[in-house]
Structure 1
Amino acid sequence: MSQVTDSKVKHCTSKQAASLLEVTTRTIQLWSESGILKAWKTVGGHRRFNLEDIEALKAELKQETNAAVEHKLVRVLVIEDEPDLIMLYKMTIEGWSLPIILQTASDGFQGLIQIGAWKPDIVITDIQMPNVDGIHMLKSLVKMEEFNDMVVMAVSGLSKAEITQKGGLPAGIPIFTKPIPFDEIEKIISQQCKTLLSS
């Protein structure tokens, strides 16, 4: 693994940033493209990152991943910008007798950070959100090969026609209409728990 060893060096490459943050180089590239991690390019077109920005993000990710040290728990990430709905998700999902650990994010920007660092097994996302909306987040997510096995679903107040007008979702991602269909979500999460914990 490539490390930055010279304390005088104030910047690093994508590969070094990936090593420091313990994610893939592709995740670093997507975080850069999404504005999560600021970067500039050399004359030759190579990305460079400020080490202070790397350390700040590393500290933030550490807080998010402390709860993820639990083994034999299925990781569920809910991305929703409405505080009342986040509370509803928490109260409902945590009330199920399933071996899961739940995290939340308030928009697609935070969602991409947590997906890259926490690597959830299941992602439930809203579509209409500030900063980075669900459509843009999902289109970034499908470029990340390491998350091909992740179960992803969208829940939105928009109709399927309205979502199509906004650019549509990547193929294979189911969309549920609000109010949140918790019965359907529970079935999917329950099945995924059986699949993951039996392997």
Structure 2
Amino acid sequence: MKKVILIADDSPTIRKFVSFSLTMHGFEVVSACDGMEAMEKLPAHKVDLVITDLNMPNMDGFELIKAIRGNEDYKDIPIIILSSLSGSEDVERGMSYGASSYLVKPFDPKRIHYEVSKYLN
């Protein structure tokens, strides 16, 4: 059975690029344009890992991480932040909210696959 990855990013280009890259490695990918849509999609899919941007409308990535970690059904899902925010404060904040890894845009698709594989293999 394929592992399911949920991508939350307000950029359609990033969602498509990451989705294509992960699909090529045999993962099933579900996309959301913000944190609210991601939370709506979680119950409908058996999500094994979440990749989230931080700067998104409606519900940002920080709030998404808090919502996932605060939900008994999803609290153990690995979360990878993929963001253009590279400051140490942003990284520390993301990790303190419960992120498993933090990657900075622009990114190498091999690095994403490596990070995903750490949690799903």
Contact preservation (8 Å) 2:68, 2:75: no
Higher relative contact order (CA 8 A, sep 6+): 2
Query: CA-atom RMSD, angstroms?
Result: 2.0
Matched, 1:155 2:97: no
Cα 1:135–1:183, aligned 2, differ >3 Å: closer, same or farther? same
Give 1:76's aligned amino acid.
I
In structure 2, C-alpha distance between the alignment counterparts of 1:160 and 1:181, rounded to whole Å: 19
Identify which of 173, 181, 193 aligns with 2:108. Answer: 181
- Tell me how many residue pairs correspond in the alignment: 119
Which residues of structure 2 form unaligned runs of 5+? none
Which structure 1 residue ranges, 4+ long, deviate > 4 Å from structure 2? none
Which residues of structure 1 form unaligned runs of 5+? 1-71, 195-199
In structure 2, C-alpha distance between the alignment counterparts of 1:136 and 1:172, rounded to whole Å: 11
Identify which of 107, 110, 113 aligns with 2:40. Answer: 113
Q: Note the 1:1-80 alignment, pairs <5 A.
A: 72-80=1-9
Give the TM-score normalised by the residue count of structure 1.
0.54
1:93 paired residue number: 22
SS of corresponding position for 1:73? coil
Cα 1:192–1:104, aligned 2, differ >3 Å: closer, same or farther? same
Max radius of gyration: which structure? 1
Give 1:168's aligned amino acid.
R
Aligned identity (percent) is: 24
Matched, 1:122 2:49: yes
Identify which of 168, 175, 192 aligns with 2:93. Answer: 168
